[in-house]
Chain A
Amino acid sequence: MSGATTSPPAEQLTLRLKKRFRGDSEFVLDVELAVAAGFTIWFGASGAGKTTLLDCIAGLRTPDEGTIAIGEAVLFDSQSRVNLPPRCRSVAYLLQSLALFPHMTVEQNVQYGLAALNQRDRDARSGEVLESFRISSLLQRRPNEISAGERQRVALARALVTRPRVLLLDEPLTALDAVTKARILDDLRAWNQRHRIPILYVTHDREEVFALGESAIVLEGGRILARGSPHEVLHRPQSETVAQLAGFENIFAGSVTGSHPEYGTMTCRIAGSTLDLEVPLVRVNAALPLCVGIRAGDILLASSKPQGLSARNVLDGTITSLEQRDMKVIAVVTCGPEFEVHLTLGARESLQLKPGARVWLVVKTYSCHVLQ
């Protein structure tokens, strides 16, 4: 908890830590990085070690070795045996369940972390934050009397009123609708414009990565797999793991069978088939296995053989299954290898698609992502 300054100099969170899991010797969390002020997104499938990492930073769990520091202040250092308890770390941590105190009003919740101040300062400090997050009208309500979005705001206000030096968010907004989520994030951004602290935001939702990120980190199997802008990390993934995380429903192993530098393309044969795809020309290491990733939403489906197209890949196939999920139809088409294709309900109706029907798949060269 810092003093009364409203814009303290931005401090970096630096960490280098290892944590092994008892009973599961395979999984080791092994991470090293520095996080500057602003949003950083931790992206990864469940079980990638995201929550464990946040727990270690907050002091709820102890790493096996390493150091954690905010600016000059050391929170944890295995060598000099420093391990501050959570209450002394100035780290605000928004748990996934929010953990609002159910028996207290919104006001009591928000003021809980201000026990060291006198009542007047407490009111002033909480009043300011309550206003920032637009919940001043809820003061006397209990957590079960307000909406999910409001609870989210209260939890944020309660965490930030203590003027933490780092904010950790563990998938806090996953349950909210897009509009509510966007409004809350706007308010959080505005707050951070004034306070400039590192905000670590954990999520497994790739839409959120694009919506939030100035910087994204992909965590997999306890290690950092990629780091950069959300676009760099998720739109041009270089590894198959990231590709899966980034939502390539179709990933095929393959090999380069031809190269056409004059067109900027190359031909790639999908392993175990005679199917050739035209893909963008990229530098590949011939010694390593190669994959082609295609998003199911990037594939066009035609009920008769299309002609006069710019797209270079037109594949002849048969629908093997059609399944409706929410407002989306998921078609599996076999062209030798199986492709997953996403369609709208309208497309299914107007093309009168049924399992067994003959169809053509159209894939643009630039919808094929070469991964290695």
Chain B
Amino acid sequence: MIIQALTLTLRLAIMVSAILLVIGVPLAYWLAFSRRRWKFLVEAVVSLPIVLPPTVLGFYVLVAVGPLSPVGRWYQALTGHTLAFTFEGLVIGSVLYSLPFAVQPMATSFAAVDRKLLDASALLGASGWRTFWRIVLPLGLPGVLTGAVLSFAHTLGEFGVVLMIGGNIPGATQTVSILIYDQVQALDYATANRTALILLVLCFTMLAILYGLRRRGVWNVWEWK
């Protein structure tokens, strides 16, 4: 039971941080360098999940992927079932929920790259694309890694959104945090204790590695004046 929930949780977290790497990096780049006047609106939307109760976010996602919305209907026509109460639905909800945790450190580290380096790159004939791959991304890598790890950790500990969208189906949508809730509801404190401990140790180890690497300067290899 625990093993099953644990594998599912890890699978979810890995997928979420992989997806967030793919969509978070360009989004963060845009946020860091765009001069659009309405950029602040996008910034606000990206940060929403930090302040919104997970239930609110979960509720909207549930409605959006359910059979009543165009997206939900389209998906149902395509696959024969709705996204609600499936692993895919969980992934979508978790990606949205962890978006700011991935995008914010990435955008911060991209914006911190010295603009003079970007000018220098352009003056040496580099296209914007080349400047991104050779200058912005390598120098912003610490932020990208931080974003990926934070979104991974955040997904591990998520509860409200998962419960709203996924429900509590063992093997399909039952993550560790929901399993613990289940066990406590069943007054099975001993098992709940063990499960909680596993999650605690896992999260602590990850954050310890993250901050340890940071302290030893491994992630700041390019910091230079």
Which residues in A have some Cβ–Cβ distance to B below 8 Å?
Answer: 1, 58, 60, 85-88, 91-93, 95, 97, 99-103, 112-113, 115-116, 142-144, 158-159, 162
- Minimal beta-carbon separation of B121 from chain A (angstroms): 7
Of B26-34, B69-77, B90-98, B112-120, the one with at least 4 CB within 8 A of chain A: B112-120
A100 to B134, CA, bound (A): 13
- Minimal beta-carbon separation of B89 from chain A (angstroms): 40
**B38 CB–A CB distance under 8 Å:** no
Please tell me which one of the listed residues A1, A102, A158 contacts residue B222 in the complex, with CB atoms under 8 A apart: A102
Are A162 and B222 in contact, with the CB atoms below 8 A? no
12 residue pairs from A and B, CB less than 8 Å apart: A60-B119, A86-B119, A91-B123, A93-B123, A97-B114, A97-B116, A101-B117, A101-B121, A102-B222, A103-B224, A112-B121, A116-B125
**B122 CB–A CB distance under 8 Å:** yes
Please tell me which one of the listed residues A92, A101, A115, A162 contacts residue B135 in the complex, with CB atoms under 8 A apart: A101
- How many residue pairs, one in A and one in B, have C-beta atoms under 8 Å apart? 63
Complex contacts, B134 vs chain A, CB 8 Å? 101, 112
**B106 CB–A CB distance under 8 Å:** no
A372 to B120, CA, bound (A): 43
Are A115 and B120 in contact, with the CB atoms below 8 A? no
**B3 CB–A CB distance under 8 Å:** no
Number of interface residues of B (CB under 8 A): 21
Complex contacts, A99 vs chain B, CB 8 Å? 114, 116-117, 119-120
Closest A residue by C-beta to B126: A87
**B170 CB–A CB distance under 8 Å:** no
**B127 CB–A CB distance under 8 Å:** yes
Known: A99-B114, A103-B138, A143-B224. A112 touches B119 (CB 8 A): no
Complex contacts, B125 vs chain A, CB 8 Å? 1, 87-88, 113, 115-116, 162
Q: Which 6 residue pairs are nearest across A and B when measured between Cβ atoms?
A: A113-B124, A102-B224, A99-B120, A99-B116, A103-B222, A86-B122
- Minimal beta-carbon separation of B114 from chain A (angstroms): 7
Complex contacts, A144 vs chain B, CB 8 Å? 224-225
**Chain B interface main SS type:** helix
- Minimal beta-carbon separation of A278 from chain B (angstroms): 52
Are B120 and A95 in contact, with the CB atoms below 8 A? yes
Closest B residue by C-beta to A142: B224
Closest A residue by C-beta to B135: A101
Complex contacts, B222 vs chain A, CB 8 Å? 102-103
- Minimal beta-carbon separation of A163 from chain B (angstroms): 11
Complex contacts, B224 vs chain A, CB 8 Å? 102-103, 142-144
Are A87 and B138 in contact, with the CB atoms below 8 A? no
A142 to B127, CA, bound (A): 24
A100 to B114, CA, bound (A): 11
**B81 CB–A CB distance under 8 Å:** no
Complex contacts, B122 vs chain A, CB 8 Å? 85-87
Closest B residue by C-beta to A90: B125
Closest B residue by C-beta to A89: B123
CB proximity to A under 8 Å, residues B93-152: 114, 116-117, 119-127, 130, 134-135, 138-139
